[in-house]
Amino acid sequence: MSFVTKNNILNDTQHGFHEGKSTETATHAFLENIQKTIDKKIHLIGIFFDLSKAFDILDHKILLFKLEAYGRRGLVNQWFKSYLCNQKQYVEIN
């Protein structure tokens, strides 16, 4: 997180990974923006996407390339690569 903060990678409007921000603060900001728009009598439309599978369809090579471009090299990049590309799931019973 110190690298992300130091290099100002995350937008201030992003609530994930910011200290003091959460899904609750994101929801509050969203509803506040809707209310302000309604108060100004501006037409409003909402489009919602279910991104729950977004991680599964993410091109891992592109992500690893971008991480390297942001300075995540060597062991750190290998850790991400291992996590992204060598995922295995198993159940162990005794």
For residues 83 and 62, membership in a common domain is answered with yes
SS3 for 81?
A: helix
Number of domains the chain contains: 2
pLDDT digits 0-9 by tens, 26-71:
899 999 999 999 999 999 888 887 766 776 777 888 888 888 888 8
For residues 44 and 5, membership in a common domain is answered with yes
User: What is the extent of the structural domain holding 15?
Assistant: 1-48
For residues 3 and 44, membership in a common domain is answered with yes
Given a cut of 80, whether residue 91 has pLDDT beyond it is: no
For residues 3 and 40, membership in a common domain is answered with yes
Three-state secondary structure along 20-80?
Answer: CCCHHHHHHHHHHHHHHHHHCCCCCCCCCCCCCCHHHHCCHHHHHHHHHHCCCCCHHHHHH
- pTM of the complete model: 0.48
pLDDT at 87: 66
For residues 32 and 55, membership in a common domain is answered with no
For residues 27 and 59, membership in a common domain is answered with no
pLDDT at 32: 94
pLDDT digits 0-9 by tens, 66-88:
888 888 888 888 888 887 776 66
